[in-house]
Structure 1
Amino acid sequence: MKCSIGFFATIPMAVLFVTVGLGYLFGKLRVGPIQLGGVCGTLIVALVLGQTGCQLHGELKEVAFALFIFAMGYSGGPQFFANLNRSTLRYMVLPLIEAVVVLAVVLAAVSLLGLDAGTAAGLAAGAATESAVVGTAAEALRHLGLEPSGMARLEANIATAYTLTYLVGLISIVFFTSQIAPVLLGINLRTASKEMAASMEAATEDDVASQPALPRIVGRAFRVEKAVGLAIEALEHEIGGRTLVIGLFRHGVAAEPTPGQVLVAGDVIALIGRRDRLVKAGGLIGPETLLPEGHSDALQLAQREVIVGERAVNGFTLSELFRTGTSMHLRAVWIQRVTRSHLSLPITPGTRLQYGDHVTLVGVEPMLSAVVRQLGKEATTTDVTDLVFLCVGILLGLAVGSLTLKVGGIPLSLGSGGGALLSGLVFGWINFRRPAIGAIPQASVQLLKDLGLATFVACVGLSAGPDAIVLIREHGAVIPLIGLAVSLGPACLSLWIGHKVLKIEGPLLIGAIAGQHVSTPAISAIMAKSQSSVPLLGYTVTYAIANVMLPVLGPVIVGLAHVIR
């Protein structure tokens, strides 16, 4: 570390925290769905401070990136492997299109404009808005056998090209998916999403709202006076909102509340459901009352969160699960939320569960515990990180990344970044299948990802220094234009192939394109435009695959661009 400016000259490491802090503050600026983000903000601040001569040297950036990329693989492992199945096969084509087109456009620019390997990798990272490529590409430079000064220049070009193209890639993919793609498909995104939700038999509008306010679930008991002769299934449908009859008492004796059971005068029924629905239920059933003595615990609701992990559940829709032999268990439980990749999915009979999904359940015992066992394992929280597991995982990743394969004389290697990503995926899956092994709290994983990448890009940006100005003068106006092609080329091709060949429904296809671009702002804009979370069902699949596939482009682009040029 070195810096000759005032306070920083005395405490050089302070420049790191100033850079990251200001970068994340700058990255909070938002215009509609567009937000610069902490990583890009940090890189911009680092490039500016780098003009003063402040730099960070040593192994800090390599350590920071190894922690980040392992944590990214660890958190994404369950979803990545869960999406490698036949039901998602057609969606897997889209991330592949993204990777191939990005690679083709970037290498064409290298050939036509003479871009160096660093600029090419930074262009891909920024235009595809995949920050991890910055790290995997920078690490790959070490395998080119360059002089230290030449490697430093290429590394600086990665940072500069990324900064020049990131905003172009971000704005273009948000605008394309939310505004242009629906027009090209000839659909009204909101109407199409609503129609698709109806075809999936969404229970209520709240199930598909872009930001659903989760209703408070309550239990009530009513004496049957007005619903005489009505079957339980029909009554639940009349009340709506996924209301469930969980108890039936006839002449003070508990009876099985089957869907076809016909109600008679004097029956007492126990229901759980949304408060606003049950408040009005008395008008359909009769007066609210107390449960018979000794049965008051029938309305004692509990909430549990389960992580889907059973093979018999993975890939099945909620409707299909209801038709299994344990459907009565599911009938007695209210599925309040299904979360995948930290996003809430629409709750419909057509919603397909997969490994790693977090499902929040509300119900009564013993049915609630039975459903937890049927779906997977109850989510547990821990405050302790298994550092042995973390270190072993990173060491194995570094060992795998050190292996080099020559193809046509071109040295190809995953590098330490790619190796750590691969080991993170495997170790994340191991922890998912065996929670007692390798526990790393979610908050710790997120900190490793955020601080690790921010520290890495701060080091790269500060070291770029005056080299950034040289690249801007040489290619400044051209690089953003190429970035537009890198961003929109894969999106346009995926839209055509997804619609014409793969026959993916419009809302799902648009969400999937946002996912192949790993763009959270894009899916946010799509959900706001559609007023629906239906596009998330396409987004989560391609996001999980692209989040692993795109970082691998870093070493590939560096190796091929170096040979071509």
Structure 2
Amino acid sequence: MEWIKELLWGEGIGHSLLLLAFTVAAGIQLGKIKVFGISLGVTWVLFVGIMLGHFGFYIHPAVIHFFQEFGLILFVYSVGMQVGPGFFSSFKRGGMTLNGLACGIVFLGVATALVIHFVANIPIPTIVGILSGAVTNTPGLGAAQQAYTDMTGSGDESIALGYAVAYPLGVIGIILAMLFIRYVFHVSFDDEAKKLEAENDMHAEAIPVSLIVKNPAVFKRKVIELAALLEHREFVISRIWRKATNKVEIVTGNTVLQEDDKIFVITTEHDVETIKTFIGEEIQMDRKQWIPAESQFISRRILVTKPELTGRRLGDLQLRRLHGINVTRVNRAGLELVATQGLQLQVGDRVTVVGSELAVDKVSAILGNSMKRLNEPNLITIFIGIALGIVLGSIPFSVPGIPQPIKLGLAGGPLIVAILISRFGYRYRLVTYTTQSANLMLREIGITMFLACVGLNAGGGFIDTIVNRGGFIWIGYGFIITMLPLLVIGLIGRYYCKLNYFMLIGLLAGSMTDPPALAYANATAGNDAPAVSYATVYPLTMFLRVLTAQLMILFFYT
């Protein structure tokens, strides 16, 4: 029976993998338990690891350190790849307000933690751990641990212990803040839903509009000339209804506009009024009228799946000239874009094509339209990104007044590179598309490995921390750090910024990067408004959480 003893209590590879696998599996299973509809989810992996560590199970320090850091890299990189495409666009329109409020929550939380640090004389590593748990941000925990190790050459288990004791009330506190704001402002869900629907009708990304040509300045002009006159406006004229023949035709660059012709245009909210004023008058026509039953042409969405098209401009393909079709819109990560000639394609784009069935089939072959190809993982880009992220995270930046150079670390470096690659990689012919399931798999493997290792490392001193080292007081400090920023910024967002309640609760969940709170917000709203605001603030918030956790260690640790 020696082999069983070695497997359970030894230091070999089999023992390490078995213990890690059991910790993850048990934690995920316990994460399915809900109390009053609330679950701690994958964080249970941390608590299972703590329990096993308390009873003497451990993994060799070098092995557990590797698993912990590799898991953290996988997690933050997959998060960056997910949020990167919308990172910069999130600052447009209402995104500036949402991100500004989210920054307020982040910085107010940091300020609250620092006040507690100085007033209560809590060591800075401990308060940073409590802060990370109170705001339910695991990458911040990893960044703080690495920054401390870089400075001192050793770890501090109080960072993970502070995180563990503060996390449960962190999740609950976010939901309590949502309920408090709803009660204070007497929020009516029906009224909020109606207001949100009205706002959404006004703010579509790609807007279809039917116009009748009335401006003499465009009579007998070709569409290509019109495009030159309005070169700084985003629009596509898809179809034309000839007054002379009473028939619908596909528009080409050489199509000549005549008085009282009707045209179907795809444009943006920003440019729609200019297009209307320049061409004529808006008319009400059903979309079906633009494709009569006897028509020879169809409208179809086609997937871009050929890697060689990554970074190619739509106009360079000359689809309209060569095949007599129109590309009117491009759906990218759920966002509808106007299909301008200068738009650069990415693998995974869904383009709306209008033309004859034969021409659409030809264009489908050109673009790929192979779901099977999309399901194939693009591992080269992933590992190039991780390698670049590690290099970036290892570069020391000297800052006056700080004894040690600042590094983005294994959390910050891969996160920034992932955001940049997923947003701009197509310009360098890097295929950045990853299926949602593949991204989620990488993310969940990474976070569970990281939490299991953190728990096993910290388990030996957890009970002692709660009983003898003021752990109960830490819980109170964590609850203050959770609630104070949420209530202050939540009240400002609702009272002064007049945010829709559904958008506001998504903002609160996103500012804490907390999926359980988002799940509660979505269930409460019954629509995707919380998810939209969550996604809007998530990238910047995640970056700030990682950065501030490191800076607190570097600036205030003595």
Please state how far the C-alpha of 1:493 moved relative to its aligned partner.
2.0
Q: Call closer, same or farther: CA 1:552–1:261 in 2, change over 3 Å.
A: closer
Task: List aligned pairs for 1:367-386, cutoff 5 A.
Answer: 381-386=373-378
Please state how far the C-alpha of 1:379 moved relative to its aligned partner.
9.7
Say if 2:190 is the partner of 1:190: yes
CA contact (8 A) 2:240 2:263 kept: no
* Structure 1 residues not aligned, in runs of 5+: 208-245, 264-268, 274-289, 314-327, 346-354
Please state how far the C-alpha of 1:477 moved relative to its aligned partner.
1.4
Q: Call closer, same or farther: CA 1:386–1:555 in 2, change over 3 Å.
A: same
Task: List aligned pairs for 1:32-431, cutoff 5 A.
Answer: 33-38=37-42, 40-56=43-59, 57-58=61-62, 59-85=66-92, 88-146=95-153, 148=154, 151=155, 154=156, 156-177=157-178, 179-201=179-201, 254-255=247-248, 291-292=293-294, 295=295, 298=297, 302-304=300-302, 339=334, 365=355, 381-402=373-394, 403-411=396-404, 412-431=406-425
Cross-structure match for 2:477: 482
Please state how far the C-alpha of 1:77 moved relative to its aligned partner.
1.7
CA contact (8 A) 1:94 1:513 kept: no
Q: Distance in 1 between matches of 2:488 and 2:97?
A: 14
Q: Call closer, same or farther: CA 1:446–1:200 in 2, change over 3 Å.
A: closer
SS at match of 2:149: helix
TM-score w.r.t. length of structure 1: 0.68
Give 1:467's match in structure 2, choosing from 458, 461, 472.
461
The amino acid across from 2:46 in the alignment is L
Cross-structure match for 1:31: 35
CA contact (8 A) 2:129 2:163 kept: yes
CA contact (8 A) 2:173 2:479 kept: yes
The amino acid across from 1:44 in the alignment is F
The amino acid across from 2:398 in the alignment is L
SS at match of 1:201: helix
Please state how far the C-alpha of 1:526 moved relative to its aligned partner.
2.9
Give 2:524's match in structure 1, choosing from 502, 522, 529.
529
Q: Call closer, same or farther: CA 1:530–1:426 in 2, change over 3 Å.
A: closer
Task: List aligned pairs for 1:429-444, cutoff 5 A.
Answer: 429-433=423-427, 436-437=430-431, 440-444=434-438
Q: Distance in 2 between matches of 1:95 and 1:125?
A: 16
Q: Call closer, same or farther: CA 1:389–1:470 in 2, change over 3 Å.
A: same
The amino acid across from 1:90 in the alignment is T
Q: Call closer, same or farther: CA 1:25–1:198 in 2, change over 3 Å.
A: same
Q: Distance in 1 between matches of 2:73 and 2:148?
A: 16
CA contact (8 A) 1:164 1:479 kept: yes
Q: Call closer, same or farther: CA 1:432–1:33 in 2, change over 3 Å.
A: farther
Aligned length: 456
Please state how far the C-alpha of 1:46 moved relative to its aligned partner.
0.4
CA contact (8 A) 1:122 1:161 kept: yes
Please state how far the C-alpha of 1:491 moved relative to its aligned partner.
1.2
Bigger CA drift: 355-364 or 481-490?
Answer: 355-364
Q: Distance in 2 between matches of 1:261 and 1:94?
A: 40
Q: Distance in 1 between matches of 2:500 and 2:185?
A: 10
Please state how far the C-alpha of 1:50 moved relative to its aligned partner.
0.7
Q: Distance in 1 between matches of 2:378 and 2:502?
A: 41
Q: Call closer, same or farther: CA 1:291–1:472 in 2, change over 3 Å.
A: same
Cross-structure match for 2:228: none
Q: Distance in 1 between matches of 2:54 and 2:105?
A: 35
Q: Call closer, same or farther: CA 1:387–1:357 in 2, change over 3 Å.
A: closer
The amino acid across from 1:103 in the alignment is V
CA contact (8 A) 2:347 2:433 kept: no
CA contact (8 A) 1:190 1:530 kept: no
Q: Distance in 2 between matches of 1:357 and 1:436?
A: 10
Give 1:14's match in structure 2, choosing from 1, 6, 18.
18
Aligned identity (percent) is 21
CA contact (8 A) 1:120 1:558 kept: no
Please state how far the C-alpha of 1:45 moved relative to its aligned partner.
0.6
The superposition leaves residues 200-257 of structure 1 with CA deviations (integer Å, 9 ceiling, x where unpaired) of 4389xxx9xxxxxxxxxxxxxxxxxxxxxxxxxxxxxxxxxxxxxx99999x984468
Q: Distance in 1 between matches of 2:517 and 2:347?
A: 22
How much is the aligned-residue C-alpha RMSD, in angstroms? 4.5
Please state how far the C-alpha of 1:48 moved relative to its aligned partner.
0.6
CA contact (8 A) 2:132 2:141 kept: yes
Q: Call closer, same or farther: CA 1:556–1:369 in 2, change over 3 Å.
A: farther
SS at match of 1:35: coil
Cross-structure match for 1:322: none
SS at match of 1:54: coil
Say if 2:514 is the partner of 1:519: yes
Q: Distance in 1 between matches of 2:538 and 2:129?
A: 21
Q: Distance in 2 between matches of 1:17 and 1:41?
A: 14
CA contact (8 A) 1:383 1:441 kept: yes
